[in-house]
Amino acid sequence: MSKEEFLRELEEALAGDVPEAVIRDNVSYYGSYLSQEMAKGRSVEEIVSEIGEPFIIAKTIIEHCEASGECGGNSGYGSYQDTYQDSGSRQSSYGNSGQGNGQGRSPFSGMHYIDLNKWYWKLLAIVILFMVVSVVFRVIGGIFVLLIRFSGPLMMFFLVYWVIKNMRGR
């Protein structure tokens, strides 16, 4: 894919969904970015694999435009054009749109990390383990209580059965 093909596909993907000013600004922005990166010796394929295919970028632009209410003709979309940092890696303020998941957001963006190495989490784990073991022992103990309760009559029944069986055999 050439730079011109990338920009044409981006423009086609945006056409009809966002104002012309937004299309012009984005095509200009990505054209400039591709030129800068190609001047560093990178190929268009490398750059596209980093930032994503044109339709993915377009979907992200459309979603951002709709969510911010800027599709009404306002072409200034703030932090969107500041998505590239000095390192050249794409850092989007609304998700990792260049990762190719087709949604414009990281699948882990809503996750919350809990550090389980804190003392209170360890205490909670010990308490839960103690409760589970306690419940297991209570269930097993209940089964044995029932067996012991009925063991006397059962033993008498088997003793009578054994005696009757042995008397018939004589």
**pLDDT by residue, tens only, the chain of 170 residues:** 888 998 999 899 888 888 888 889 989 999 999 999 899 998 888 888 888 888 888 888 888 888 877 775 444 444 344 344 333 444 433 444 444 444 444 454 555 556 677 788 889 999 999 999 999 999 999 998 888 888 888 899 999 999 998 888 66
For the chain, give every domain's residue range.
3-99, 114-170
pLDDT for the residue 123? 92
pLDDT for the residue 93? 39
Point out which residues pair with 95 in neighbouring strands. Answer: 93
pLDDT for the residue 146? 86
Q: Against a cut of 0.85, is the pTM above it?
A: no
Q: Which helix (H) or strand (E) holds 161?
A: helix 119-168
Contacts for 97-101: CB closer than 8 Å, 24+ residues apart: 97/52, 97/56, 97/57, 97/59, 97/60, 98/50, 98/51, 98/52, 98/56, 98/57, 99/52, 100/52, 100/53, 100/56
